[in-house]
Amino acid sequence: MDFLIAGVACIALLLVLMALGMQIGLSFILSGIITSSLILGFGKSVSLLGQASYFSIASPTWTAIPLFILMGAFASNGGLARRAYDGVHALMRNVKGSLLIATCFSCGLFGAVSGSSIATTAIFGRMALPEMQRLKYDSVLSVGVIASAGTFASMIPPSMMMIIYALFTQQSIGRLFAAGIVPGLMTATVYAVMINLLVRRNPKLAPSPDDERKIRAHIDSMGSRTSAVEMWPVALIAIVILGGIYSGAFTPTEAAAVGSLLTLGLSWYLRAFRKMGEVTDAMRESANITAMLFLINIGALFYSRVLAITGLPTELTAALTSLDVPSWVILWAIMALMFFLGMIMVPVGIYALTLPIVFPVLMKLGYDPVWFGVIALKLTEIGSVTPPVGLNVFAMKGVIPKDMNVSTEQIYKGCMPFLLCDLVVLLLLVLMPGITLWLPNLIAK
């Protein structure tokens, strides 16, 4: 079989297998095995899979992923999300729609110690939604805020997807982490402004004055200053991890290990963990997530190798760079492709399918790889709340109480104002790369 035809068939086969509902990691492996068997033979295909399974992850950098997952499990089971939520809620008590805005910034704060957007959405869905429902916030807006704000964990470091992007493109994890801070905080701020505008335009979306007084009474009964101070464990963990990486004291992998131990120690000190069984439950949970994620990553990297053997990425790179069009036209075409794929694929799958092809093109056109990493991450954030396969939407749907009766379509509807916010932020990041690169360049000096 001609190699280029095999490359096209490899992509088509992957999309077919995913459309049939096969697990994403297995879809990568099976489509790669079939394609490589046709051009190399079955024996060499299996040998290539074995090499990819080992050499693709035989790197200390990969150790950071399960360690950050473990840190997130300790943080979620250790009550740190509740501390972040109560603290930010206390600080927002005089703002219209305070509970919604508190959820936005709390998701961003908790994202700094979890690194998982789906986990953040599920945790805050279980924690914040019952309180919003009790105080009569609009249900559709409430679920939309939680599902959308959960994506902050993908951008605000430490981020699993940033590590995976770094491994695919051989970029500095530290620079990528630094590049995500300003866009992440900017997105949270734009969300807060949108919430304020929505509740002012339609007062029925937020509680009535009586319910507002209930909110203030609830916070005052806790003591606003005390609640705000209770955020210190989350702030301490974030400072130790990011400060250690940027000061040169830790590598990202060492920072993940220190963060896991610190999170465990703080959770035990704060008596969130009272039994050893609670610790082992968190470890078992992180092991399950790690196994699932590594299967996807191994399959994706094997698939990328097969695609590279076909020569399709090289041919497409040459064809795109030879086009007599401005470089920004190619950039926007690549972004449109990733935006579309975000509606039907998980982020790791998008990276495996597109980066081998588009990354060399972007480098030849002179675009900064760290800047594009943030753009790619922003596009996957948007895909997390965009139909038909918005992973955060389905995570939100899974934690909604049965008596609330909110459909998947209503969750998507609630996400629409924040999808608009994401598109505005994306446009600013594309037009003004300095927003993304200012902090990495500052740290590198």
CA dist., res. 152 & res. 49, Å (int): 34
Specify if 220 maps to a domain. Answer: yes
> Residue 425: its pLDDT value, please?
93
In a domain, 215, yes or no: yes
pLDDT of 223: 45
> What is the residue-wise DSSP string for 112-130?
HHH--HHHHHHHHHHHHHH
Task: Please state whether 97 falls in left (phi above 0), alpha (psi between -120 and 50) or beta.
Answer: left
Please give the Cα distance from 18 to 15 (Å, whole number): 5
Q: Contacts by 55-62 with C-beta closer than 8 Å and gap 24+?
A: 56/297, 56/298, 56/301, 56/302, 56/305, 57/294, 57/297, 57/298, 57/301, 59/167, 60/251, 60/253, 61/163, 61/166, 61/167, 61/173, 61/252, 61/253, 62/167
Q: What is the mean pLDDT of each run of 10 residues along the chain (445 residues)?
A: 79 81 82 88 87 73 79 77 73 75 82 71 79 81 88 80 84 88 90 90 74 54 54 81 81 84 86 82 82 78 81 74 83 86 74 82 90 91 80 80 80 90 93 91 73
Rounded to whole angstroms, the Cα distance separating 216 from 220 reads: 6
Assign residue 116 a region: left if phi > 0, alpha if psi is -120 to 50, beta otherwise?
Answer: beta
Query: 107 in a domain, yes or no?
Result: yes
Please report the pLDDT score of residue 431 as a whole number.
Answer: 93
Q: Is residue 286 part of a domain?
A: no
Residues of the domain holding 411: 60-273+311-444
pLDDT for 402:
74
End-to-end CA distance of the chain: 51
Tell me what pLDDT residue 434 has: 92
The number of domains in the chain is 1
The reply to whether 392 falls in a domain is yes
Residue 378 inside a domain? The answer is: yes
